[in-house]
């Protein structure tokens, strides 16, 4: 019996190998179950109740390396449950209130999650800081990361980060746009050259906003030196350098429709 119960509990707990969304759903279920909504916790049962919550804390901590962004949100969900449950517990000893309900605890849990996530991979950490709107930490992370490391991060993480930083840290955003463009061109993925050109165009504008024209010139020199043989790409890149980026040029279909319209006789 004890073996079956232990096995059921293990299956109910989230596995770090499962996708983040599945882990979040499982963990939210575990959190809600641990609070036993609607059941009043007597004084004699407080110790075991708090022990169960400590078990949930440990389960949250296990997820930090693989799903740091989800863990921060789950910590806050857990804390919200602690506040809600305070009305259904006889905490004469003060143990529950002292441990889980201080008003300053929300910020502490937030910091706890962020600090613990520092050891996560760069992709996960960038996603976490974007999701939690920690733009200063995000900017500092990008500044201390090498270009090679940033180029290995998927654009699913670096693109949202670059967009978030354009207004507050245009110099950092420029660097993120550049590494995205460089990743495509270095890998010779010609079908994505259009996206790379858009990245470089946004990088140029960010460099200009930050007043770092010299920084943009260094990028231009590097691209010309490394990729001058990629004729198709370089034609578009030189247009960006000249200030005629892909955002200002009509697409093929837009150009075709405009010419077609000009050929049609005026309606009588």
Q: 15: closest CA among 7, 4, 27?
A: 27
d(CA 100, CA 27): 18
If pLDDT is split at 50, 70 and 90, which confidence band does 107 have? low
Alpha carbon distance 210, 171 (integer Å): 6
CB burial of 36-57 (b: ≥16 within 10 Å; e: otherwise) equals: eeeeebeeeebeebbeebeebe
DSSP bridge pairs for 41: 89
For residue 247, what are the contacts with CB-CB under 8 A and spacing of at least 6? 198, 201
Q: How many residues does the chain have?
A: 268
Q: Is the pLDDT of residue 228 over 70?
A: yes
Residues ≥6 apart with Cβ < 8 Å to 179: 147, 150, 151, 158
Any residues with CB less than 8 A from the CB of 94 and at least 6 apart, and which? none
pLDDT digits (tens, 9 = 90+) for 50-94: 888 889 988 888 887 777 778 878 888 888 888 888 888 887 766
Enter the pTM of the model: 0.60
Mean pLDDT of 226-242: 92
Distance, CA of 171 to CA of 143 (rounded, Å):
10
pLDDT (tens digit per residue) in 31-53? 999 998 999 999 888 888 888 88
Q: Yes or no: say if 200 and 174 are a contact pair by the CB < 8 Å rule.
A: no
What is the mean pLDDT of the segment spanning 203-209? 95
Long-range Cβ contacts of 159-163 (<8 Å, 24+ apart): 160/127, 160/130, 161/126, 161/129, 161/130, 162/202
Residue 262: phi, psi to the nearest 5? -70, -25
Q: What is the DSSP string of 57-99?
A: HHHHHHHTTT-HHHHHHHHHHHHHHHHHHGGGB--TT-HHHHH
């Amino acid at each position: 019996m004890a073996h079956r119960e232990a096995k059921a509990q293990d299956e109910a707990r989230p596995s770090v190998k499962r996708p983040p969304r599945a882990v979040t759903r499982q963990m939210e279920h575990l959190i809600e179950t641990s609070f036993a909504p609607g059941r009043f916790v007597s004084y004699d049962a407080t110790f075991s109740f708090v022990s169960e919550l400590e078990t949930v804390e440990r389960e949250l901590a296990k997820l930090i390396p693989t799903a740091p962004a989800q863990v921060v949100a789950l910590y806050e969900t857990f804390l919200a449950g602690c506040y809600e449950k305070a009305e259904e517990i006889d905490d004469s000893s003060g143990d529950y209130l002292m441990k889980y309900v201080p008003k300053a605890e929300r910020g502490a849990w937030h910091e706890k999650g962020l600090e613990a996530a520092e050891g996560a991979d760069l992709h996960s950490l960038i996603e976490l800081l974007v999701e939690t709107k920690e733009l200063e930490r995000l900017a500092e992370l990008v500044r201390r990361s090498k270009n090679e490391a940033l180029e290995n991060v998927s654009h699913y993480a670096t693109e949202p980060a670059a967009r978030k930083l354009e207004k507050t840290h245009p110099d950092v955003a420029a660097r993120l746009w550049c590494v995205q463009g460089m990743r495509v061109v270095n890998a010779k993925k010609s079908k994505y050259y259009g996206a790379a050109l858009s990245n470089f165009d946004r990088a140029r504008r960010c460099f200009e906003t930050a007043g770092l024209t010299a920084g943009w010139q260094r990028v231009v020199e590097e691209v010309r030196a490394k990729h001058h043989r990629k004729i198709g790409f370089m034609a578009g890149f030189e247009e960006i350098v000249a200030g005629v980026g892909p955002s200002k040029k009509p697409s093929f279909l837009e150009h075709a429709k405009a010419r077609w319209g000009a050929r049609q006789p005026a309606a009588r």
